[in-house]
Amino acid sequence: MTAQAATGQAAAGELAGRVALVAGATRGAGRAMAVELGRAGALVYVTGRTTRERVSEVGRPTETIEQTAELVTAAGGTGIAVPTDHLEPAQVKALIERIDREQGRLDVLVNSVWGGDRLIEFDTRLWDLDLDNALRMFRLGIDTHVITSHFALPLLIRRPGGLVVEVTDGTAAFNRRYRGSLCFDLTKNAPHRIAFGLAAELTEHGGTAVSLTPGFLRSEEMLDHFGVTEETWREAVAQEPHFAIAESPALIGRGVRALAADPERARWTGQSLSSGQLAKEYGFTDTDGSRPDCFGYFEDVVFGGKQATAADYR
């Protein structure tokens, strides 16, 4: 293992000449994946609905796609922000036509559109849910992914070796447990099946499709929820003990970068992967040098009753 691999740092230029689209790159995991692809030299189109002129329904005006594009460029790549509502087929079609016109290729597609956390009603029976919110989750977390792939895949398969990453919440194995809200459960299981199906459809074109989940993600929204920052996040463990296993968005970003740079990535096609699993496989770490295994911790300790702490899974 090289020193770069051990620390999680991208090899300079390992993705130079590659073109990526990160759909849903305004904040959190989407932003981190875009930045890490840029750190390895990729040209990255970043999309979302919150810009410096317009705020989406998520209501977080300080995080914009322009900022993400600037971070991609500062990291060593080229970031291009394109305001896009991925529920609008005409907008997505125009986005892909622009990528084709400007670059003539697409090597990596990351479907990370979500923005539905505020709609979840945990521990509420289906018949008591706000139906409009429940159906909106399907639109945000499933329809956006299908619409984007519909328009993007003809460009991606133009060259063999394309990579599609379906971002979700929970591995397929973890999600065998009920996620506490029927419509959320359905929404976050769908990307596993999308990746599985796309893997079959992309095989003849030499493409790879996977689903990928972070662990307990320290997104900007989650840090705000607990009233902490990335520097002080451990203070939140007093409120939520399981936050001790939390990971920064950089971990899943480094996972996507590693997949994109791996010439043997086809071995993963159709599978459900996690950031912690890829960290072990490829030898990278989180920003603090740890390698959190969120799903191992939950399976063994939280659900299995094993006498251990989160520190044993970092």
Token pair for 112: 């990370």
pLDDT along the chain (314 residues), means of 10: 46 90 97 98 97 88 95 98 98 98 98 95 96 97 98 98 98 97 98 98 97 96 94 95 97 98 97 98 96 97 95 95
- Considering the domain boundaries, does residue 262 fall inside one? yes
Number of domains in the chain: 1
**pLDDT reported for residue 59:** 86
CATH number, domain at 208? 3.40.50.720
- Considering the domain boundaries, does residue 131 fall inside one? yes
- Considering the domain boundaries, does residue 35 fall inside one? yes
C-alpha Rg value of the chain to the nearest Å = 18
- Considering the domain boundaries, does residue 228 fall inside one? no
Q: What are the φ and ψ backbone dihedral angles of 89, each rounded to 5 degrees?
A: -50, -40
**pLDDT reported for residue 10:** 56
The amino acid that residue 30 corresponds to is G
- Considering the domain boundaries, does residue 253 fall inside one? yes
Interval 138-164: pLDDT, tens: 999 999 999 999 999 999 999 999 999
**pLDDT reported for residue 4:** 45
**pLDDT reported for residue 166:** 98
- Considering the domain boundaries, does residue 258 fall inside one? yes
**pLDDT reported for residue 292:** 97
With a CB cutoff of 8 Å and minimum separation 6, the contacts of 19 are 42, 43, 44, 45, 99, 103, 105, 106, 107, 108
Residue span of the structural domain in which 173 resides: 3-217+249-290
- Considering the domain boundaries, does residue 149 fall inside one? yes
